[in-house]
Amino acid sequence: MLKWPDVLKLAKEGNPAPDRKVTKTEAEWRAQLSPEEYRVTRQAGTERAFSSAMCSLFEPGIYACICCDTVLFDASEKFESGTGWPSFTQPVEANVVAYHFDGPAFLKRVECVCNTCDGHLGHVFPDGPPPSGLRYCMNAVSLKKAAAH
């Protein structure tokens, strides 16, 4: 299980290799995604809080990257954060999310991107519930929900 010191270490020293890598041109992403999906995932935008019904859905299932279909989160790790963005305590595997400092490292503001396609997902904060203590604050448009495997 990843905890905050692990996240900081990954952001500082480098992320684990993903199982596969998806690379497309900006034109290809633009053709595949809606304007809002493109703005958030490829230009590191942020959707309006409380803009998605996904925040208050807790049915079993998995959440995959809207860009490349890599499974990122399981509904069992989803919790009600009250922030207006879907929130998770842990990714499904340690190598599906990559971490980068957003701004100077001393601020410890950590951006999350899809480790497979580098799509922007959101940020992770050290104020989540136990046992991980992490809060993955994700943009709903960066994710697509699917039934469990």
Known catalytic residues?
A: 137
Count, in order, helices (H) and strands (E) of the chain: 3, 9
Nearer to Zn ion, 90 or 116 (CB): 116
| Closest to 11 measured CA to CA, from 130, 115, 91, 138 | 115
Q: What is the nearest approach in angstroms of Zn ion to the Cβ of residue 69?
A: 7
Q: What is the nearest approach in angstroms of Zn ion to the Cβ of residue 31?
A: 16
Residue 140 near residue 131, CB atoms below 8 Å: no
Of the chain, the end-to-end C-alpha distance in Å amounts to 21
Q: What is the nearest approach in angstroms of Zn ion to the Cβ of residue 138?
A: 12
Residue 119 in contact with Zn ion, rule: CB under 5 A: yes
The contacts of residue 71 (CB under 8 Å, 6+ apart) are: 62, 63, 64, 92, 96
Residue 116 in contact with Zn ion, rule: CB under 5 A: yes
In the set 54, 64, 92, 117, which binds Zn ion (CB under 5 A)?
117
Residue 65 in contact with Zn ion, rule: CB under 5 A: yes
Contacting positions for Zn ion (CB under 5 A)? 65, 67-68, 70, 114, 116-117, 119
